[in-house]
Amino acid sequence: MSQEQRSSTTETMIDLDLIQRAKQGDMGAFEQLVFRYDKQVLTIAARYVQSSEDAKDIYQEVFLRVYRALPRFQLRSQFSTWLFRITTNVCLSHRSRRKRHIHTSLSQESDDEHGAGLSEAITEPRTTDRHAEQTDMALHISQAIELLSSKQKMVFTLKYYDGYKIREIAEMLGLAEGTVKRYLFAATNKIRHSLKDLI
């Protein structure tokens, strides 16, 4: 067993212990579960809504749902997968209730099949003028991302902002990997079309 596999097994065992104790009403165990994943949940939320207040609202709703649903959690999947699925669902429902204008920049990460060319549009600023150009490009990109459908935006941000793999995104959203790839392909094409006069 590799070091990574041993680490993953240990993490799973810790989760299982905390889950069992939390199910029995141990609030300390539940708080430890929250502490183990709160940064990841908040990061996903913040990347998706690009508003600290909205992200905090999503964060609170996610762990409220987790607390209420934990007694029914059957351990058919990893706790993290279940938690991130709840997180993405809350993000999607949040957007459907309240659309907001966001200001953000695209991750430097690139993907040969789906995202090559987009992340290269934003590079490190070298001069004041260059910085202004980058800021303007970031605004155009954020506006283009806001035009995506809810699931296209979720898949895009999970892939290019948070660095999750296709398989992981599929597990989070409860979708087939092929469906995730189609959402990602459509999202990338829409953004490229929106930016065609800029890049």
As a whole-number percent, the residues of the chain with pLDDT over 90 amount to 49
Position 93 pLDDT exceeds 90: no
Q: Which CATH number fits domain 119-194: 3.40.50.800, 1.10.10.10, 3.40.720.10, 3.40.50.920?
A: 1.10.10.10
Q: Tell which wins on pLDDT, 67 or 107.
A: 67
pLDDT at 104 over 90: no
Domain spans of the chain, in order of start:
3-97, 119-194
What kind of fold does domain 3-97 have according to CATH?
Answer: Rna Polymerase Sigma Factor; Chain: A (1.10.1740)
Model pTM?
A: 0.69
Q: Report the share of the chain in percent with pLDDT over 70.
A: 73
What CA–CA distance (Å, rounded) separates 145 from 137?
A: 12
Identical fold, 3-97 and 119-194: no
Q: Which residues are within 8 A (CB) of 198 and not within 5 positions of it... i.e. 6 or more apart?
A: 121, 137, 140
List the one residue out of 136, 134, 93, 113 whose CA is nearest residue 184.
Answer: 113
- Determine the residue type at 124: E
